[in-house]
Chains A and B, each alone.
Chain A
Amino acid sequence: MSYFLTWLALMVLLALTTASSYIPMGIFNTVANMGISCAKALLIALFFMHLRGASALLRIAAVTGLLWLALLFGLSWTDLGTRPSAPAPIDARR
């Protein structure tokens, strides 16, 4: 039953994210899309991947990849986000 409810919630969220992108909200379109995606990912991780009720060790292992990704995003962005943008070679070629 909880699997079915998870699936149903995922379908509702899919409908929400698709519908919301046809409403002009500026930056909040992206915020809504990413927020809904995070909610869907959380539902899948908690119920389909059984992280709800999993041991603390397993939960920590599950977020290590995301933690490293956040660190690498942060470090890369402090570099690329704070200097004048030069066209990437793939763009300059044409």
Chain B
Amino acid sequence: MWAFLATEVLFFGPLFFGYVHGRAFQPEAFASASHHMHVVLGTLNTAILLTSSFTMALGLRASQTDRSPRLWLWLTVLLGLAFLGIKGYEYTSEWSEAASAAGGEARFYFLYYATTGLHAVHLAIGIAIVSWLALRARREMPIEVTGLYWHFIDIVWVFLYPMFYLLERYG
């Protein structure tokens, strides 16, 4: 699983590099486009995802101590769905701004949609797997491996949040 996660790091890598390059060469455009992000929703979503990692870890612990992990796993699914719901709302409300953006701002929006989109696809797959676990899993091994994947998605978001939402907020 760790080897797979290493390939996942490199899957996201080019998008991160594109961002670093854009931040270095078009800093003003990136900052002004970032001001259009919904910072409250982004912060809420970060808290939701961090909490979902917490419930996922508790699910694994439950399975290790011969208790049912079901409740924790469904809670994780629920938090994941809440994240995607809020993200979907953000996507639709930002779409018109993104479509009319030009230059460096267009680039910011492209990276924003591509990176958070790839992240959302990963999360959707994670939600499907955790749902399946909540229905079927008896042993701890599949929960542990899925947990690693879930926490990895969380770590990716931990970096995406300040990158896209928190540029020069004081301006």
* Partner-B contacts on A (CB < 8 A): 3-4, 6-7, 10-11, 14, 17-18, 21-24, 29, 33-34, 36-37, 40-41, 44-45, 47-49, 58, 61-62, 64-66, 68-69, 72-73, 76-77, 80-81, 85, 88, 90-91, 94
Q: Which residues of B contact A7 (CB under 8 A)?
A: 50-51, 53-54
Tier of interface size on chain B? 35 or more
Q: In the complex, how many angstroms separate the beta carbon of B12 from the nearest chain A beta carbon? A: 9
Q: In the complex, how many angstroms separate the beta carbon of B35 from the nearest chain A beta carbon? A: 12
CA distance A88 to B6 in the complex (A): 29
Cβ of B147 under 8 Å from chain A: yes
In the complex formed, the residue of A with least CB distance to B51 is A7
Q: Which residues of B contact A61 (CB under 8 A)?
A: 2-3, 6
* Partner-A contacts on B (CB < 8 A): 2-3, 5-10, 13, 16-17, 20-21, 24-26, 39, 43, 46-47, 50-51, 53-54, 56-58, 61, 102-104, 106-107, 110, 147-148, 151-152, 154-155, 158-159, 161-163, 166-170
- Contact assessment for A76 and B17 in the assembled complex, using a CB-CB cutoff below 8 Å: yes
- Contact assessment for A90 and B110 in the assembled complex, using a CB-CB cutoff below 8 Å: yes
* B57 partner, pick from A3, A77, A80, beta carbons under 8 A: A3
- Contact assessment for A65 and B106 in the assembled complex, using a CB-CB cutoff below 8 Å: no
Q: In the complex, how many angstroms separate the beta carbon of A3 from the nearest chain B beta carbon? A: 5
- Contact assessment for B166 and A94 in the assembled complex, using a CB-CB cutoff below 8 Å: no
In the complex formed, the residue of B with least CB distance to A91 is B103
Q: In the complex, how many angstroms separate the beta carbon of B115 from the nearest chain A beta carbon? A: 14
State the majority secondary structure of interface residues on A: helix
CA distance A77 to B20 in the complex (A): 10
CA distance A49 to B53 in the complex (A): 10
- Contact assessment for A37 and B158 in the assembled complex, using a CB-CB cutoff below 8 Å: yes
Q: Which residues of A contact B46 (CB under 8 A)?
A: 14
- Contact assessment for A88 and B107 in the assembled complex, using a CB-CB cutoff below 8 Å: yes
Q: Which residues of B contact A64 (CB under 8 A)?
A: 3, 6
In the complex formed, the residue of A with least CB distance to B46 is A14
